[in-house]
Structure 1
């Protein structure tokens, strides 16, 4: 999985000079190289900025990039700290770009909306605080769809982010900029967020790894209403599972400001050594429930299911037991429940903007559609949505061995389609079936979200046209480390996928 990047430096001191391919290192390797002084933080920053200069003009993954001289000065401060025996954390000296939905102190945060094209927050979102505390230098933002709605990263402020495997195709979303920056080694790791596959979908389409944690594992602190984010979470993305695990260890942990935060921290993921220990294992005896297309309920494009099944066959070669299965719920009622909760959330969040003509005219049509339907819902509609969700949670959890069920993991495609043309807003038809909403083609991602389960998107393979697809593996509530361990075992089977483009 190594890159052939030429962003290399010969760094020497009292020992012989060693040539280090900086952007070819995965994040955990980079941390080790910085801390053993094989490379300087200034060299790391320079290599990544050179990479951005070379790739970003076409791909448009990173936006609001800060001044090079300022960043190199901050990197020199990090080197000085190491000279004095001070490390702020495993990300010490890392260049990091924050997803442009998250408030970032002193840095333009647009959320892809023209309404926020001049918004510079005076505070950091909680997970950004934690990434800074781990030693990262914030260099800019990663591009998103407007307000994060939709799995195609385009907006009127910065334009579209394109797929690194084919610049005429979409990168996915809403963490599309993050996934592309990872795939092309413009960043060591990336933060994403996920409501309806927003970090899983672009990870799959860019051939990298994206992890949606258990509900509450990575606390969200938006202020105002701490209970409306019952489907959303921040999470880590990377080129290797160990890098994702390390970033999760940074993002996770209780916070007094967030009533839904899980207590404690993930001590297993506190260091590279501990991560390696807890990610060791094989898939021998692991039982995987293959949900496929849910008995034909999910429309899929040709080749998607077959690509995932080839990935599952690799897992069987490592001793996994793959069993076709289904969800014993009314899937149409579940979709309606999902829509009602989503509509209500967006109506509460954006309804006030739609009441003012000047702001309503600057909001994308999908946001207006969500909010307008949300305001028409009754209390009874929302109560029925909640009870439907509860019944679904009870049913899907009963499928896991931790609750007396049959499976250690469940599996689905990460997306029901291949990356589509960048000029297209969303697929209007999939497999001969009309899509009745702008996100129906991403229905496969809602099940882990709605039950609050830990879910990871792993590379599954490629289409005949060379476009990537992902497979999502999800586990029981709170089984985050188990899911990461199983994913790490699978990762060892796919070295030929060259995860993360050169």
Structure 2
């Protein structure tokens, strides 16, 4: 079956390049043309370097023609999240304080992506310092949802998810502290994985031993998430939390048989968070899919009450630790919500952090016991569908007032506080055509199993095949 080059999967493109069916230059040119066509509408890719990308594409083709050994991503274009360092490109983190900052070394995830042969063509837009699940900043502006340009693309990996769903790049790197891979994946009908802490090692990282912020893939399907994890996962001594298993484990055959799997689900986390009815209905509808796949499905949810304090305290602590020096120099040009969160970190006492760690201990062992009974927990990714892009965040959900810019993100950050792997996979659309996703949470370090469940669900539903209309055009095909 033929498809446009820019909507081919990363694996299809990689194979086509390495078998000389298509050149790296043709692949990069097709994606650059798609960027020119769609990016003006959505503002997903920033700091684009077309000339540099084409030079590297020609070099990739020469290397292949010479018979040199090449990496699995050879010739594939990618744009790096603007919070991640990539030599040759600014790393503004969406802040005026860093608008002219050019790093002198690649971040570890970028180092691995480049070593695998990918061509960095630009950066993807983020909220300031990746704080918040709505992508806007004073450097580059707002990233809009291609399914409805009046709506948010989510965040903080909003530019990454939009670029992937629109065919501007075949896959993207993301990061996730409170849901930053999962929200934009859900809001843009793509796949986003929050891996287990240490699965994808992070360097440099100020909070060296904190498991809160992780990095992971954003792709158009789950098979490409496996493919990307095979490169970006694996141990590295620069990251003391890194898991001592190679990324190659994600190349193992996928057994798509879920028969007998024990699935727990909850549309509202056991009644402790507000969720819009359209989101609840969507999640309930997906439970029949799992039943039809032979799973035992039961409504159940562990008590996650402590997750609120754990996340709020440790997030504020990590933000203050990471950005204190910049804050002291540039406070007057930073967004109010970031200022609030950093000052919250400065107000913390040792006893506050100690209490959060005690609560996390209780939470971890309660979740561990829960997964002795169940193989997976299915939850909504977001408590609301994509909201108005002119708002910073939803101020009310199902009649419940949101007190600050992250209150509405509990459906993701409760899982961040626990540390279990979680996958956002497309689960359909609202009545007005806005994408939704379900969140598949697995036991401790069972990243492969979470992806396998998502893969099987994806194959049974095909929700993720629907691309935004503004990105569609019939040309540039490979077979």
Question: Do the aligned partners of residues 499 and 386 (structure 1) sit closer, same or farther apart at CA in structure 2, a change above 3 Å counting?
Answer: farther
Equivalent residue for 2:273?
298
Question: Do the aligned partners of residues 348 and 37 (structure 1) sit closer, same or farther apart at CA in structure 2, a change above 3 Å counting?
Answer: same
Equivalent residue for 1:158?
140
Equivalent residue for 2:30?
47
Q: How does 1:39-188 map to 2 (within 5 A)?
A: 39-66=22-49, 68-188=50-170
Question: Do the aligned partners of residues 297 and 122 (structure 1) sit closer, same or farther apart at CA in structure 2, a change above 3 Å counting?
Answer: same
Kept in 2, the 8 Å contact 1:143–1:158? The answer is yes
Distance in 2 (CA, whole Å) between partners of 1:338 and 1:430 is 20
Deviations 1:193-227 (A, max 9, x none): 00000010000000000011111100111255412
Deviations 1:23-73 (A, max 9, x none): 13111111111111111111001100000000000110000000x333222
Q: How does 1:150-299 map to 2 (within 5 A)?
A: 150-227=132-209, 229-270=210-251, 274=252, 277=253, 279-299=254-274
Distance apart, 1:268 and its partner CA: 2.5
Mapped pair 1:345 → 2:318: yes
Distance apart, 1:265 and its partner CA: 0.6
- Partner secondary structure for residue 344 of structure 2: helix
Q: Which of the residues 379, 386, 403 maps onto 1:419?
A: 386
Kept in 1, the 8 Å contact 2:7–2:170? The answer is no
Please give the root-mean-square deviation of Cα atoms over the aligned residues, in Å. 1.5
Equivalent residue for 1:433?
400
Question: Do the aligned partners of residues 20 and 285 (structure 1) sit closer, same or farther apart at CA in structure 2, a change above 3 Å counting?
Answer: closer
Q: TM-score, normalised by structure 1?
A: 0.91
Equivalent residue for 2:442?
475
Mapped pair 1:312 → 2:280: no
Question: Do the aligned partners of residues 496 and 218 (structure 1) sit closer, same or farther apart at CA in structure 2, a change above 3 Å counting?
Answer: closer
- Partner secondary structure for residue 398 of structure 1: helix
Bigger mean CA offset, 233-242 vs 284-293: 284-293
Distance apart, 1:284 and its partner CA: 1.2
Deviations 1:330-356 (A, max 9, x none): x1x431222111111122223333434
Distance in 2 (CA, whole Å) between partners of 1:204 and 1:420 is 12
Deviations 1:392-425 (A, max 9, x none): 010011111xxxx211101110000011111101
Distance apart, 1:322 and its partner CA: 1.4
* Number of residue pairs aligned between Structure 1 and Structure 2: 469
Distance in 1 (CA, whole Å) between partners of 2:176 and 2:463 is 28
Distance in 2 (CA, whole Å) between partners of 1:249 and 1:100 is 22
Kept in 2, the 8 Å contact 1:61–1:181? The answer is yes
Distance in 2 (CA, whole Å) between partners of 1:308 and 1:223 is 36
Unaligned runs of 5+ in 1: 3-18
Unaligned runs of 5+ in 2: 473-479
Q: TM-score, normalised by structure 2?
A: 0.95
Mapped pair 1:408 → 2:375: yes
Q: Which of the residues 17, 35, 46 maps onto 1:34?
A: 17
- Partner secondary structure for residue 361 of structure 1: helix
Distance in 2 (CA, whole Å) between partners of 1:62 and 1:232 is 23
- Partner secondary structure for residue 280 of structure 1: coil
Mapped pair 1:387 → 2:362: no
Distance apart, 1:499 and its partner CA: 4.5
Equivalent residue for 1:456?
423
Question: Do the aligned partners of residues 224 and 150 (structure 1) sit closer, same or farther apart at CA in structure 2, a change above 3 Å counting?
Answer: closer
Question: Do the aligned partners of residues 20 and 324 (structure 1) sit closer, same or farther apart at CA in structure 2, a change above 3 Å counting?
Answer: closer
Distance apart, 1:175 and its partner CA: 0.3
Deviant stretches of 4+, over 6 Å:
none
Distance in 1 (CA, whole Å) between partners of 2:431 and 2:92 is 37
Distance in 2 (CA, whole Å) between partners of 1:239 and 1:223 is 28
